[in-house]
Amino acid sequence: MTTYGIKLVWAGWENDPTIGFSNRASKRWADELPAGTRMLLYETTGKPKGSKAKGTKSLVGEVEVTGTFDDGAKIRAADEQHDAVIPVRVVQKRESVTPVPLDTVREVLKDEQWPRMGESWRPLSDAEYQALVKLMG
């Protein structure tokens, strides 16, 4: 059975081969992010040091997990600012999706408080995932 979820990413995500997590989040979710997990990527307004990117507060892409956090440690970029990364394959590139804004994501999730402080990964049901993918075009 495929695992689905939404992962928050910094402003400027551009079809990257890894997705970053904090140490705490990587430990919490490691066993629940097997290869094949599908992540819809929600771009926040937070940005990495030195970036001038402006976040869209919308879904901007989709990736599939291809390895573990241990695998990610072997390929992490020298300038990576996250504590841990997991390798991914881009399924839907940023330029190929219709961005889905925050209010619409909240409607689908039936959760007006999402995203919550300190929560960078949110598991999705199959129905939530399918509804959001459809909106992304």
Q: How many residues does the chain have?
A: 137
Q: What is the pLDDT of residue 76?
A: 82
Q: Which domain holds residue 71?
A: 4-135
Can you tell me which residue has the tokens 């507060």? Answer: 57
In percent, the amount of the chain with pLDDT more than 70 equals 99
Q: Is the pLDDT of residue 78 over 70?
A: no
**How confident is the model at residue 50, as a pLDDT?**
83
Question: CATH code at 45?
Answer: 3.10.590.10
Q: 1-12: string of b/e by CB count within 10 Å (b at 16+)?
A: eebbbbbbbbbb
pLDDT of residue 49: 81
CA gyration radius for the chain?
14
How many structural domains does the chain have?
1
Residue 58 or 46, more confident: 58
CA 94 → CA 12, 78, 97, 118, 136, distances in Å? 10, 24, 6, 24, 10
Q: What is the pTM of this model?
A: 0.93
Contact residues for 36 (Cβ-Cβ < 8 A; gap 6+): 2, 3, 64, 65
pLDDT over threshold 90, residue 8: yes
**Mean pLDDT (whole number) for 66-72:** 96
Average pLDDT, the chain: 94
pLDDT one-digit tens code per residue, 88-136: 999 999 999 999 999 999 999 999 999 999 899 999 999 999 999 999 9
